[in-house]
Chains A and B, each alone.
Chain A
Amino acid sequence: MQRIGVFVCWCGSNIAATVDVETVAQTLAKEPGVVFSTDYQYMCSQAGQELIQEAIREHRLTGVVICSCSPRMHEATFRKTVEKAGLNPYLLEIANIREQCSWIHKDKLTATQKAVILGRAAIAKVQLNAPLTAGKSPVTKRALVIGGGIAGIQTALDIAEAGFPVDIVEKKPTIGGKMTQIDKTFPTLDCAACILTPKMVDASQNENIDIISYAQVEKVQGFVGNFSVTIRKKARYVDEHKCTGCGLCTEKCPQKKVPNEFNLGLDNRRAIYIPFAQAVPKVATIDPNYCAMLKSGKCGVCAKVCTAGAIDYKQQDQLITREYGAIVVATGFEPIQLDKFDEFAYSQSPDVVTSLEFERLMNAAGPTGGTLLRPSDGKHPHTLVFVQCVGSRCDGAEKGKSYCSKICCMYTAKHAMLTREKYPDTEVYVFYIDVRTPGKNFDEFYRRAVEEYGVHYIKGMVGKVTPQDGKLKVQASDLLGGRQLRIDADMVILAAAIEPDKTARPLATMLTASMDTNDFFTEAHPKLRPVESPTAGIFLSGACQGPKDIPETVAQASAAAAKVIGLLVKDSLTCNPCTAKPDELMCNGCSSCEKVCPYGAITYVDKSFRGPNRTTLIRRVAQVNPAVCQGCGACTVACPSGAMDLLGFSNQQILAEVDAICR
């Protein structure tokens, strides 16, 4: 006979104001099997927990039902509580009478009735609970960082510094990411390369860090502490170990007309290339879309000039499979495509550029050697118009993004300031909806642009840009002045919204990590767990989680590293004992469960069973690896024979709950 204790929590006034807790406790006391029922102000407090433990001992309870907040909040707390009193922690059930009851109801009578019903369901379930024991699973002490931008580099450096091996997978031929393309950084105006490249070198020289460049994650299996990841290392047709990075091949290659993605297509590179001087690894890569040797078998110049003999036209993609304990996503961002914003004439005039292109035009390593020249005629521009929020803060999000891209106000102020400083003969206009500068020394920076550098900040949006007679006719409204403006500009710079990298969506599917509607990775809790994904063992670093500037990215990168280190120092993890369990006598071996299992936890074995008339039957039956199973329950509903059940959430238990609610 079960001896169940019911504990109804007031949660101060959170529950007690809408639910008559005393009535709930008294009503549930009459349920079959309940031998003790009480209410208390704060069950999760020290005194509340002691009350539970005392009742367990005094009334020799065999099951505990706590009517309180969501199990997401305090299930772990109360499991520890009952365990300390000598009860198996899985003989506890929580009825959520806060989030699912008191917080959503106004009428006290209805809320009280519902709380009783929820309590009754929990009592019906706990009657069928069985003691469960959690197993242990080992932790592979190696981390994977996906994305080698500043976020990934910082995370990897911090993890490596703590003594754990870490791999960076970068899809481009070099690590460094977007920050390599940036000229100066706000609000200090130090050069991005000067602060980034030492970190890139640190990463490459750190013996705990393995950089797998020009590679992409292809497959992820396993679970927290025990991931198995397959990485496709694309053929770069150059032996990374032999190449010295001398760059001779990149000078001799006859294919000169390849758009240079590092300079966003503003100039050209060769078919064999090193993205930029400080690339890490500093190894050449052959672009198979342009290389004459790879396309038609006629050329071979790079192989002839290479003294190291590093060129290998027959190189193949390589698949690397490695084990990891934790995975950090640092896939970063991309500026959006501007084809839906043709009012700004981006596709019509080369003098309308994005802010990232403007960075390249200002950069000493850029296509113009750092002199600001108009892309159309190479002349010095005199009037520059900056347009903010291009694609950000769009209503309805049909054309652009509904969110604020966060970094544009500051980099536009930076661009305006740098232009005025280098070229005092220019007139610089910035059109904005709002100027948003929350951040250390950010507002001071913006005010300097306005007050010291004389940048014309105009509240209002640009309506149309028309290329005409070598000029860009800008029509705009000045909302504060209440007038229409017409400016003959030489260049228009668009602060394009940023969006998550396109590779993030398929990656999220592989990692079973969730994303929001904008394809930014979702954090486990927006305030309290900002660097963890809801999927255990997956962590988030940088702009893949939301728009961020460099200081914020680096802060989050280090925070993610701290979480990873906290995981990797553990020798083993406690498994969730609520895993799937097949009834072999009922199992058909049909593979339905295997097909729906997102964790690859199910395998099949041929097993002997006793058949009729002393015969032996060999049947194919499912087996669940409890260390891999995460208890999602997909298999239990897919099984056509009802052979699969979830420990702690068995079909019988759930039906008992439903029966109790419908009673």
Chain B
Amino acid sequence: MSSFVQWLTESMFLWKALIIIVIFAITLGIAAYSTWAERKVAAYIQDRRGPNRAGWGGLLQPLADAGKMFFKEDFIPAQADKWLFILGPCLSMFTALMSSAVVPFGNSFIIGGKEVFVQAIEINIGILYVFGVVSLGVYGVMIGGWASNNKFSLLGAIRAASQNISYELAMGMSIIAILMMSGTLSVREIVLQQHGGNWNIFYQPLGFLIFTVCAFAECNRTPFDLPECETELVGGYHTEYSSMKLGFYLFAEYINMFASSAVTACLFFGGYNYPGMDFVETQLISALGANVGHNVATLIGIGSMFTKILFGIFFFMWVRWTVPRFRYDQLMNLGWKGLIPLAVANLVITAGAILSGYKLVGIWAGLGLMIVLISVGWSLRPKKKNAIMGA
């Protein structure tokens, strides 16, 4: 028994369990308040006030919503496949919660002489893990849509599946450019390499653009929310869902937003890094001592990470209330004819820049050259004769 207690205190087990629980709680909390923020942002953009009755500024609204969801009838259609019908939202929620496991939310705490990373698990294939889990997320939608035994649900699910597969390609290729620069798959390593203000966004502007667009598509957010397109498909894959099962689907969307904002922050905005972090850390260490100073500096780093994440979530909402939904053929055109070729070009440019030895200059020069080439090609294209416009 004593050896077990000793093992518990000496190993990282307790600290890791604590960190996992805290990250889990923060993820759920942020996702819950994203629903509130979404309504507030929507309201403010449309010159309204938004929810302001439940608690101060409507801050208890998520609780009220959850309460409402729980008290709705939990209905399963007679023709539905019961087990798959239940499995769908569970899988959606499960994969959504898993994806933030490899995200480093901060540097490390030094507690009792041990260094504890502020990250649930550090694995050397972090990015692959994120992509694997995110791809699994399609199963939740697909199973839910299929099990509902409803045409609209099935259509929504099929749309979701094809959309996610199409955009994962471009997303993956925009990430490969980052991986070529960093030479590692570990998210922590990628963040460490962006120390200070040396963020990847300056090296990969096009990659960032492609990644963001694909992240919107992967999260099924407007302008790519065709899977749940109300105007065409009633509610898409969750047409038949009610009560907390529907709540799980909607909640999973917000968790996915949080996770993709976190991954974007790590890959392109330096995660917990911020300009002047070394100065802050040395000042804190000289003022508070090595351990406490380091821990406080880590806390500030976590603050910078969450600032980036929250801005990312705000950006998701900002775009949602600005841009109308794409048509399905436009969505596919953009994915296959627009983003994938651009991602490949970005890959080639990055590779060339890395080989040339001047990364920053090379990439920007390459992008400039690409734009020039595309515009020349555009101006030389055969002009279509249009009877209506020619009149």
A complexed with B: no
Give residues in B with beta carbon < 8 Å to A. Answer: none
